[in-house]
Amino acid sequence: MGLFELKGYPGLLALSVALAIATSYCGPPADEAKAPAQTPRGAGVLVSVKTIQFEKFEHFFLANGSVEAVTEAYISPEINGQIKQIHVEEGDVVPVGTILLTLNSSIIESSMAEVETSLQLATTIYEKRKGLWEKKIGSEVQFLEAKNNKESLENKLKTLKAQLAMSRIRAPIEGIVDQLPLKEGELAAPGQMAVHMICLDNVYVNADISEAYVARITKGDPVVVSFPAYPELEIATAVHYVGNVIKEENRTFKVQLLLDNRDQRLKPNMIAVIRLKDLSVERALIVPSIIIKNDIKGSYLYVMGEDDGAPVAVKTYVTPGMSEGSLTMVREGLAPGQQVIVEGYNLVKNGMKIRMKKNGSATG
């Protein structure tokens, strides 16, 4: 049936015309289709290389520590007594010898008055006995008794004066009155803290370090210490003290730093982070850590070699050492002067031709 026979079927006629038009515009013949682009002969993967030479390599590790005041005093009285008066307030800065607290000393003062009266009489009797004895009047025993009584009362008075001095609690250091846990009228006793004083001009930073590092850290080693409370603050200093005992409970030893803290920003028990150097190699071969890969045989990277005069990637197995930041020291497998592929290393395989970047362009 031809097209002229579809006059009664307008829908079929339109469909036939559309199919004919679509068939006539299917595109050019297959042999005229554009062939896929071919890689130019002799081209290779575009890479960047680094010529390795001996460099200084340093490795650091971090340790947590805490701040401790160099000068600090927990003050308690030497005798029992009721607190009569508190002479300072928390936060006061006081010099050495300042009276901080006064204890009730009425009993001691009464005893002193009694002893002083007795001492006056004993002194008078002694002087008279002495004069008589010098004139050979009276017995020696009477003279010695008078002398002993006088000296005994003198010693007793001296003891009472010392006790009276103990009733006045003085500052043993120059610093800040940090705590006054007791109040006027309360009882103070030996061994019980009555005043806490602290001087923040100098502070220690103490850290417990694993015994694995005991042979690598010595007094005077340079360190950098930072504080999470002050993200912008970093202080370069040196190791002040290295402990001589390994703690049994955690197998660590003490490392201590001494810091100047005249601005008093650092407070006792504040957390510190110490950056210590545990390795320094003057002549080391260093590569970016990211270019080192691993397979069943070990660690490897790619260096630039030649094949028939053309640059190729050569898979080279290495023995990596310690890493610091984004760099790794290579202990074995490389030699000075070799060119290590540092860009494009993920795109190459052993023996693959490469092109090197030069001033932002590729050279074949």
CA distance 331 to 320: 6
- Model confidence pLDDT, tens digit, residues 170-219: 999 999 999 999 999 999 999 999 999 999 999 999 999 999 999 999 99
- Considering the domain architecture, whether residues 160 and 221 belong to the same structural domain is answered as no
Per-residue CA distances from 6 to 23, 99, 173, 194, 306 (Å):
20, 125, 119, 118, 75
- Considering the domain architecture, whether residues 184 and 110 belong to the same structural domain is answered as yes
Domain range holding 51? 46-58+282-363
Report yes or no: 356 and 50 within 8 Å, Cβ to Cβ. no
- Considering the domain architecture, whether residues 51 and 83 belong to the same structural domain is answered as no
- Model confidence pLDDT, tens digit, residues 33-82: 443 434 344 568 999 999 999 999 999 999 999 999 999 999 999 999 99
On the question of pLDDT at 257 being above 60, the answer is yes
Q: What is the largest CA-CA distance in the chain?
A: 178
Q: Residue 309's pLDDT is what?
A: 85
Segments in the chain forming alpha helices (H): 10-24, 106-134, 140-166
Number of domains making up the chain: 3
- Calculate mean pLDDT across residues 310-324: 94
CA distance 101 to 76: 10
- Considering the domain architecture, whether residues 333 and 277 belong to the same structural domain is answered as no
- Model confidence pLDDT, tens digit, residues 209-237: 999 999 999 999 999 999 999 999 999 99
Look up the pTM and report it: 0.69
The amino acid that residue 199 corresponds to is C
CA distance 340 to 303: 4
Burial class (CB in 10 A: 0-12, 13-18, 19+), 99: middle
Q: What is the CATH number of the domain that holds 247?
A: 2.40.30.170
